[in-house]
Structure 1
Amino acid sequence: MSDTPAAAIADLAPLDRLRQQKAWNWYDWANSAFYTTVLSVMFAPYMITVAGEAAGCADPDETCDKTVNVLGLHLAAGALPSYLISFATISSVLVLPVVGAFVDRSPYKKRYMAGFAWAGAAVGSQLFFLRGEQWQLGAISVVVASILAGCSLVAYYAILVDISTEDERDRASSRGWAWGYLGGGVLLALNLVLFLGHDTFGLSKGMSVRLSLLSASVWWAAFTIIPFVKLHDYAPRSVLPETGNIWKRSFGQLVVTLKDLPNYPMTLTFLLAYIFYNDGIQTVIYAASTYGEKQLGFGTSVLIGTILLIQFVAFGGALFFGRLAARYGAYRSILGGTFAWMGVVVAALLLPEKNVALFLLVAVAIGIVLGGTQALSRSFYSLLIPRGREGEYFALYNAAERGTSWFGTLLFGIMFQATGSYRPAILALIVFFVLGAYFLLRLDPERGIREAGNRLPAVV
């Protein structure tokens, strides 16, 4: 009889995990504001204007070949944002794996996530002072904040494994991405209202941008409080023993992981696939506004509306692909997504000039596959990571994403220079999705999950 009460008690673990997943989703909502408002939309054009003024351009809003001095290097004002983001990217490749090793050994992953986030938001808030001769402060701030944002994501992604089973991973990741697109889209919409109506609010154009840049950091820091308070701490699991001080242990673990990666050939194959198709995704997003303006002849209002449309459609796309994964598995859904991206590229190639309806239709397609492929890539990769190595393997994931994200833009630029048209340049991007699909087709997902020591979900 003593066993009867215990047997009657329901298993509350799934409810607890669901609460943790909902708390975890808030960090996607929080950090997406920085990536959307700052890195994707507001920072680059404003930095070009400010640096152009510092360089002495007669009209800093027009193309100007005058340079600014950055650590003894004379860089064109118009190219400065690209150089800064590239430098942040390269630095992240070196820093993130080390951070991942610390995260794997810590029972306080949420403290790493929040600590890096608040530090990044504090540094990012300095972008409010980006004006006149203070462009250097803005340059330093965007680089450091970008690196800290990447560090926080390493811990954030690692937490996903602690709060979800293999069968729950796709749903949790999809909801997180959906919340991220929604949060980033809401703040971006508010900031675009402020920017476009700055005269109505009694603000200068520059002040509206500076307030928008500041709002992203405030949003990032404020909403990070929710997951920091509500998430539990989890003890590290199956971490390989290392001797020496913490620096030696961290770098030692990185070396061990890099040497050990070939022992997980399916994990390596997926990373190669991800490098290619993610580069294609990032370049399509980067090139969309240029293609729309220069090739198809659309004005600023159409392009701004398209950016917001993609952001909000991606919210639904992430949830839709989450349902697809529940039925067909994450692997098949990602593979299907790469073929859908090929269709998007071909559709973009065939778009007639100044046809807003068709342009927006392609934008809807982009939003659907954008949210879905990114969300499921994260969850599927988590199944291919050996237990206890989540932080460092996700650091490799982020490093692979950031360290190669210039291939697509380089190809886009070369094709335009060779042909003088953006149509062949946009078509050339299909090669990244073809290569991504090639490596995905060489991947045996069940073998990869078993080799990593994880349990096979009901549907792969």
Structure 2
Amino acid sequence: MSTDTVRAGAAEEAAERRREQRGWYFYDWACSVYSTSVLTVFLGPYLTAVAKHAADADGFVHPLGIPVRAGSFFAYAVSASVILSIVVMPMAGAAADRTGRKKPLLAAAAYLGAGATTGMFFLDGDRYLLGGLLLIVANASLAVSMVLYNSYLPQIAPPEERDAVSSRGWAFGYAAGSVVLVANLVLFTAHDSFGVSESTAVRICLASAGVWWGAFTLIPLKRLRDRRTAASAGPASAHGWRQLAATVRDMRRQPLTLSFLLAYLIYNDGIQTVISQASVYGSEELGLSQSTLITAVLLVQVLAVGGALGMGRLARTYGAKRTILGSLVAWTLTLAAGYFLPAGAPVWFFVLAAGIGLVLGGSQALSRSLFSHLVPSGKEAEYFSAYEMSDRGMSWLGPLLFGLTYQLTGSYRDAIVSLVAFFVIGFVLLARVPVRRAVRDAGNPVPEMI
């Protein structure tokens, strides 16, 4: 075979890889608007209001005959979605690896989630049960789709490209969240000018996230391709839980991969808690208005785009592990600064939001790409189901610590600074993981910089 033929083949392969990568980015672009507009901004307050409208004189609703305080219904629905996710994710991951057909499973999860989100348009009056059901389905569908989506990363990017590719995916997601959130906020704040009520404006915002999710999912489904692997042999996975047990046993033979997962579980729990509780801190402790808090969320989204790309470039120079460790230091300093924020001063809250935005996307993107190096070939979906379960399955620890600290001290400042523990412990555990040896033990080539 001539040199020119080899070069032409390599160039064609690189072009196809870049095409797949660009398609892969668009799933982050498609689904991230659900996390931003639905979960972070609109659904919690709106579903709580619907539940309160349906409540009895004592403030309770009765799903399945169980008395639940209306103000707690949203939190319980989120918890139920986490439980469902933990049940379904390993089965989806096992099915993807055993059949080699990730794309149909990704399509099913994405469109089930997008359909449930679009259906939130009908969440009005006292239909709190409908809202809870749609939330559970959408959240669980998102979790399953992210297992499948993340598992493509080792297949579409060689080791030296993964930090950059993962970072671009996160950047696409935050950019989409920003675009849709701006449109939603225009509709919400000027709903009278558009001739709709505030409730209708919220329902349009919720449903638009589902339409966006479904429409842009067409791009990755067109460009990504399935691959048969050695693990694809054998019957397709009616035995998801049996395969999960085998995956757990296999991961015990990869102790360094498990060590990374433990570190990620802890510091990511801190990250997720900061995201979910920052608005509570801003409103209850600092006395900030709803418009200020929504503007801060938008600022986080915009800066997270640059933060993800910037930290991806830092990883090329210093390695993903060192860059993540640096981001954990930044998280710690940001929370410490948050403890001293003066009440009624939105400018300083925006400064805090800027600090969060700059490290948020990069720490998550680089964690994903670093983990991809620690996954044995042919087991991507199974291992990423464990990765996603470590993210979602333990995400109650941070809110629990936050709530207990507030209950014991009566201070949201003490509650927010208590989360420093997650970043300090995560830093120590991650620093102890010899990532080069972990990559070799997983049977993968070790990148020059990791």
TM-score, normalised via structure 1 length: 0.95
Q: Over aligned residues, Cα RMSD in angstroms?
A: 1.5
Name the amino acid aligned to 1:35: S
Cα 1:410–1:7, aligned 2, differ >3 Å: closer, same or farther?
closer
Q: Which range is displaced more, 377-386 or 99-108? A: 99-108
Report if the CA contact (8 A) 1:170-1:380 is conserved: yes
Q: Which residue of 1 aligns with 2:15?
A: 15
Q: Which residue of 2 aligns with 1:121?
A: 114
Name the amino acid aligned to 1:99: A
Q: Which residue of 2 aligns with 1:246?
A: 237
Inter-partner Cα distance in structure 2 for 1:134 and 1:350:
41
Partner secondary structure for residue 191 of structure 2: coil
CA displacement, residues 270-320 of structure 1 (integer Å, 9 cap, x when unaligned): 111111101100111111111112212221221111110001100111001
Inter-partner Cα distance in structure 2 for 1:176 and 1:54:
41
Partner secondary structure for residue 400 of structure 2: helix
Report if the CA contact (8 A) 1:38-1:216 is conserved: yes
CA displacement, residues 371-423 of structure 1 (integer Å, 9 cap, x when unaligned): 11001111111111111111011111111111111111111111111111111
Q: Which residue of 1 aligns with 2:365?
A: 375
Inter-partner Cα distance in structure 2 for 1:98 and 1:196:
43
Partner secondary structure for residue 338 of structure 2: helix
CA displacement, residues 123-143 of structure 1 (integer Å, 9 cap, x when unaligned): 222211111232211111110
Inter-partner Cα distance in structure 2 for 1:84 and 1:254:
26
Q: Which residue of 2 aligns with 1:276?
A: 266
Inter-partner Cα distance in structure 2 for 1:291 and 1:109:
40
CA displacement, residues 20-48 of structure 1 (integer Å, 9 cap, x when unaligned): 11111000000001111111111110011
Q: 1:429 aligns with which of 415, 419, 422?
A: 419
- Kindly report which structure 2 residues correspond to 1:282-431, keeping only aligned pairs within 5 A, or say none: 282-431=272-421
Cα 1:234–1:56, aligned 2, differ >3 Å: closer, same or farther?
same
Inter-partner Cα distance in structure 1 for 2:321 and 2:144:
27
Shift of the alpha carbon at 1:189? 1.4
Q: Which residue of 2 aligns with 1:146?
A: 139
Would you say 1:194 and 2:184 are equivalent positions?
A: no
Inter-partner Cα distance in structure 2 for 1:245 and 1:307:
42
CA displacement, residues 54-77 of structure 1 (integer Å, 9 cap, x when unaligned): 1146xxxxxxx6111111211111
Inter-partner Cα distance in structure 2 for 1:210 and 1:30:
19
Inter-partner Cα distance in structure 2 for 1:218 and 1:128:
11
Q: 1:221 aligns with which of 211, 214, 223?
A: 214
Name the amino acid aligned to 1:239: A
Partner secondary structure for residue 99 of structure 2: coil
CA displacement, residues 63-108 of structure 1 (integer Å, 9 cap, x when unaligned): xx61111112111111100000001001111210111001112333
Inter-partner Cα distance in structure 2 for 1:179 and 1:104:
26
Q: Which residue of 2 aligns with 1:52?
A: 52
CA displacement, residues 1-31 of structure 1 (integer Å, 9 cap, x when unaligned): x736425636212222112111110000000
- Kindly report which structure 2 residues correspond to 1:85-100, keeping only aligned pairs within 5 A, or say none: 85-100=78-93
Partner secondary structure for residue 446 of structure 2: coil
Inter-partner Cα distance in structure 1 for 2:382 and 2:322:
26
In structure 2, the gaps of 5 or more residues are none
* Count of residue pairs the alignment pairs up: 449
Inter-partner Cα distance in structure 2 for 1:273 and 1:253:
25
Q: 2:436 aligns with which of 446, 453, 460?
A: 446
Inter-partner Cα distance in structure 2 for 1:164 and 1:410:
38
Report if the CA contact (8 A) 2:270-2:398 is conserved: yes
Report if the CA contact (8 A) 1:275-1:400 is conserved: yes
Q: Which range is displaced more, 92-101 or 226-235? A: 226-235
Name the amino acid aligned to 1:247: A
Identity level (%): 45
Q: Which residue of 1 aligns with 2:100?
A: 107
Inter-partner Cα distance in structure 2 for 1:55 and 1:139:
14
Partner secondary structure for residue 174 of structure 2: helix
Inter-partner Cα distance in structure 2 for 1:100 and 1:440:
25
Cα 1:95–1:4, aligned 2, differ >3 Å: closer, same or farther?
closer
Q: Which residue of 1 aligns with 2:2?
A: 3
Partner secondary structure for residue 168 of structure 1: helix
Inter-partner Cα distance in structure 1 for 2:291 and 2:337:
22
Inter-partner Cα distance in structure 1 for 2:250 and 2:3:
48
TM-score, normalised via structure 2 length: 0.97
Name the amino acid aligned to 2:339: L
CA displacement, residues 336-359 of structure 1 (integer Å, 9 cap, x when unaligned): 111111111101011122233222
Inter-partner Cα distance in structure 1 for 2:97 and 2:236:
15
Would you say 1:263 and 2:262 are equivalent positions?
A: no
Shift of the alpha carbon at 1:240? 7.7
Name the amino acid aligned to 2:397: F
Report if the CA contact (8 A) 1:110-1:159 is conserved: no
